[in-house]
Structure 1
């Protein structure tokens, strides 16, 4: 299996664009797919630089209904009109950070190849989507500012719109999440409910980024406790984007080589 970080906040390839967003390109035996699409058309430009043919993509998975994961879908749709695009049916609901709209471009819903799904879906023997994450262990503190609109009212976002992709390949299992808004430990708990074990690899943001000063003691405690729980598992983690550099470094001190960084233009190496 081949995995390339097409869009991420930082870059390994100086020719590639870095932006606040995430897009992962994946080649399996049966598929060429994208997890998310970044914030802008950077996915198109970076793919050209890296020699990745986006017209060959057959599947796009939107991890949740935020602009920095969905913004590249409309530019992508101009060059690829056949790839199936899967999102949870609640992903198009309005989402906000304070007063700022952070939801998806509503034009996406006009694309004929968009599938709105609900709950868990087995796409085939390689690809499985799950949601229904209800646990709140080490819940990301940054979620406190995020809301969604239901029945005309802004309410705390419950992240029902978040879904995770599981890829089975060569006897190994990959778990991929865009931001892990529900908390990576709770996502792993849900994974264990379904599969009875832990994945071999996890690729996900951890939504621990802090944009307005240093982390509070409470936030640091959640970050460190999360790392202490993850390092116990027989799993390798790749993270970036909304994890944030300070949080990543705190977790890296605990997890060592079990935690590895993502960068635009870089192929994930095992």
Structure 2
């Protein structure tokens, strides 16, 4: 079962925010991202009836809108193991504004077991976390920066759980992300951010052409953007998603 805990859109009493959090609840309870605010994460988890501990937390990349809800999980002892890319804690900026993992959350990580990875980490036979996404196909990177200059968000992690691909923001390009995942599993469903919010018409049309011929269904969330959602919704394999959605 997959539950969308946090998204930019909601159609229920769950709160919406610019952020993402997705729960995979099967043999292992895995929370993928935590949104940007511990209060929103707490509110939404409680409304979804989620009170039990999580076996693993996976951070898709080191941006605050995916990481900072971790404060609630760690302070309330709801998580034991956190999986991060080795570069996830680097300082990051956008237009001069700090957008990385908060210093408070970084300090709290001392209280849990942290696994730093780069390329891949298998949780069990059904779940694998992947990094080092090959950027073979065209994509449009944002103008993010770290303390040393340009930041291509190379700390991106994705999760494959039983033929379902979970993405954070697809900063590596959604086509690249999906094609990378296909090297490990046959993908039947893609859920998460597609990062098309500022996409050019040229790039958006390229993504549309790619998705149109795919056999998997996809649920674009978070940073996909309203304009792109409208275009994607015309495809037969599109599924609308928002906070509170449950996929069985």
Q: TM-score range by the shorter chain?
A: over 0.9
Distance 1:244 1:236, change over 3 A: same
TM-score by length of 1: 0.85
In 2, the alpha carbon distance for the partners of 1:112 and 1:83 equals 5
User: CA shift at 1:188, angstroms?
Assistant: 1.9
User: CA shift at 1:227, angstroms?
Assistant: 1.4
Counterpart residue number, 1:70: 67
- Structure 1's unaligned 5+ residue stretches are none
Match of 1:166 among 160, 165, 173: 160
RMSD: 1.6
Counterpart residue number, 2:42: 44
Counterpart residue number, 2:247: 268
Question: 3-state SS of the aligned residue for 1:128?
Answer: strand
Deviating 4+ runs (over 4 angstroms) = none
In 1, the alpha carbon distance for the partners of 2:112 and 2:93 equals 26
Match of 2:210 among 217, 229, 254: 229
Contact 1:223 1:251 in 2 (8 A): no
> What is the aligned residue count?
244
Contact 1:224 1:251 in 2 (8 A): no
TM-score by length of 2: 0.92
Counterpart residue number, 1:25: 23
Q: How does 1:52-63 map to 2 (within 5 A)?
A: 52-53=50-51, 55-63=52-60
Match of 2:169 among 179, 185, 204: 179
Distance 1:187 1:82, change over 3 A: closer
User: CA shift at 1:162, angstroms?
Assistant: 0.2
Match of 1:35 among 32, 36, 42: 32
Question: 3-state SS of the aligned residue for 1:176?
Answer: strand
Contact 1:34 1:59 in 2 (8 A): yes
Question: 3-state SS of the aligned residue for 2:124?
Answer: coil
